[in-house]
Amino acid sequence: MKLILSLVFFLTSFSCAYANDLGQAAEKSFSFKQLLKSISEPDLKNLNFSFPEAKAEENFVLRGDERYFITVLASTKEERTRLMELGLDIQEVEGNKVSGIAHAKTVTLLSQKGYVIVEKITFSGYAKEFLKDFPIADSAYHNYAEMVEVLQAITAKNSDIASLYSIGKSLEEREIWTLRINTDAKENEKSDKPGAVFIGDHHAREHISVEVPLLHAVWLLENRNKPEIKNYIETLDIYIIPMLNPDGAEYDIEGGKYKWHRKNTRKNPDGNIGVDLNRNYAFRWGGAGASHSTYSDTYCGPSAFSEPETQVAKKFFESHDNLKTYISYHSYSELVLYPWGGVYEPVENEKDRKAFIAMAKEMADITGYTAKQSSELYAATGDATDWTYAERGVFSFTFELSPSRWGSGGFYPGVSILEKTVKDNIAAANYLLSVTDDPYKTIK
Ligand code: 0X9
Ligand code: ZN
């Protein structure tokens, strides 16, 4: 029975997923309200498959996963950076404790070095044996095919100002889709208008970082006639890339159970999977806060820009001279971070530093998040936003979206958190659009 159901589900989703024709997609329409409603209250009854004996949530231990969520004593940013280098993927900082994900080998290393590990837990999660999708309770989140479907539909409906194109392929050859909003230029055509970029999901398991830019795109196009939005659309060049790491995102949900997968799906020569895309950019690559161990979640890769996904991002930023602002979405912790991330020193250029702080504070006020220099958390080299600022002069921010803690859901907070997170972050992103014409006006 399970087999038949899974076959029916597979065929239905396969035919939907690959109905990649804009015309067909246009028949389906997605409204912001409807999407928000569906992400707030997933309509389990209307899904075209049923779950005979499966419960909504079923705990299990991820078999074969040698990682732990640990809490270690460490009180300074220097100590936190050192922990990152030893392979701990820090997620939370509270007083003299830091928590994050560590491979068993890192746990041993930390103990040998005398670090005090005060808590160590194995992963558990939702199990759904026959889905190749999000667990049912989180079905409102968009997987790759569903994201493409939404992007196609909204582009088709707004084809006078929106274009959808691939800026390159992932390692497993998935297209990295980009929705561009520009009244004059389409796809790769040159534009002299000031540009804003929003990128989600450098990190596979941070699925909420896909929802925010995706829903922002829907919202912008739906509200295109509001005077303020109309003005942004007419005067700016807006790029929304909701899923930079599609292979990782799909791998994380494959089998309907979360794998806590962060990196891309590179098979390293020793068999360990993945390179951390947010350690793979070239600026100060491989230094502070990056791990050179393939088993670590913060493995920076064999060389800078070794990965197709970061190469695609590099090419994208290098081929557009007009880009002024950028948000790289991550989760979780509720932070608005600005450069530098790789060193503790502040940005040298005073005007830039002041503008960074002014913009970050404003966006933190709007979202209720906390603004700080990235390296206050821990130093990490090879991240996206240091590179885009250093090499391309783009005012670049890393957002750590909701929730604030592992205990409130961490990477997998469920659907209840989505509505507020999406709405607050659309407001913050719109603020960034409002200053993209001249980021320095924030300090005038
Ligand atoms: O470590 C990262 O790549 C980002 N945090 S996450 O939990 N989403 O992985 C933060 C990057 C910010 N940069 C620095 N702290 N340097
Ligand atoms: Zn991240």
Q: What is the CATH number of the domain that holds 85?
A: 3.30.70
Q: For residues 274 and 263, what is the distance between their CA atoms, to the nearest angstrom?
A: 5
Domain range for 68? 61-129
- Residues 108 and 151 both lie in one domain: no
254 domain residue, yes or no: yes
Is the CB of residue 293 less than 8 Å from the CB of residue 105?
yes
End-of-domain residue from the set 78, 99, 129: 129
Instruction: Say what percent of the chain tops pLDDT 90.
Output: 74
Ligand 1 pocket residue status of 380, Cβ below 6 Å: yes
Mean pLDDT of the region 232-237:
98
Ligand 1 pocket residue status of 266, Cβ below 6 Å: no
- pLDDT value at residue 67: 85
ω into 285 cis (within 30 of 0): no
End-of-domain residue from the set 75, 107, 129: 129
Ligand 1 pocket residue status of 81, Cβ below 6 Å: no
Ligand 1 pocket residue status of 74, Cβ below 6 Å: no
Q: For residues 146 and 150, what is the distance between their CA atoms, to the nearest angstrom?
A: 6
- Residue 412 Cα to ligand 2 midpoint, Å, equals 13
- Residues 344 and 367 both lie in one domain: yes
Which of 306, 302, 161 has its CA nearest to residue 235?
161
331 domain residue, yes or no: yes
Is the CB of residue 181 less than 8 Å from the CB of residue 235?
no
55 domain residue, yes or no: no
- Residue 231 Cα to ligand 2 midpoint, Å, equals 32
- Residues 107 and 243 both lie in one domain: no
Which range, 48-62, 92-106, 348-362, has the best average confidence (pLDDT)? 348-362
Which one-letter DSSP state was computed for residue 201?
Answer: -
50 domain residue, yes or no: no
Ligand 1 pocket residue status of 374, Cβ below 6 Å: yes
- Residues 37 and 112 both lie in one domain: no
- Residues 243 and 111 both lie in one domain: no
Mean pLDDT of the region 371-379:
97
Mean pLDDT of the region 62-72:
77
Domain count, the chain: 2
52 domain residue, yes or no: no
Closest residue by Cα to atom 16, ligand 1, is 341
Beta strand segments in 292-390, E: 323-331, 335-338, 370-373
Which of 393, 406, 401 has its CA nearest to residue 425?
401
Q: Does the pLDDT value for residue 88 go beyond 70?
A: yes
pTM of the model: 0.85
Mutation choice for ligand 1 from 245, 334, 337, 402, CB with most ligand atoms inside 8 A:
337
- Residues 120 and 260 both lie in one domain: no
Structure tokens at 142: 């968009």
- Residues 344 and 422 both lie in one domain: yes
176-229 per-position pLDDT tens digit: 999 999 999 999 999 999 999 999 999 999 999 999 999 999 999 999 999 999
47 domain residue, yes or no: no
110 domain residue, yes or no: yes
438 domain residue, yes or no: yes
219 phi, psi to nearest 5 deg: -65, -45
- Residues 141 and 119 both lie in one domain: no
End-of-domain residue from the set 129, 161, 182: 129
Q: For residues 289 and 283, what is the distance between their CA atoms, to the nearest angstrom?
A: 13
Q: Does the pLDDT value for residue 27 go beyond 90?
A: no
- Residues 26 and 154 both lie in one domain: yes
- pLDDT value at residue 44: 44
Query: Average pLDDT over the chain, rounded to whole?
Result: 87
Beta bridge partners of 409: none
Q: For residues 129 and 267, what is the distance between their CA atoms, to the nearest angstrom?
A: 24
- Residues 346 and 407 both lie in one domain: yes
- Residues 99 and 151 both lie in one domain: no
- The residue with greater pLDDT, 65 or 167, is 167
Our answer to whether residue 400 is catalytic in this structure is: yes
The tokens 């491979």 sit on which residue? 103
Q: For residues 377 and 109, what is the distance between their CA atoms, to the nearest angstrom?
A: 22
- Residues 24 and 67 both lie in one domain: no
- pLDDT value at residue 148: 96
Closest residue by Cα to atom 12, ligand 1, is 374
Q: What is residue 433's three-state secondary structure?
A: helix
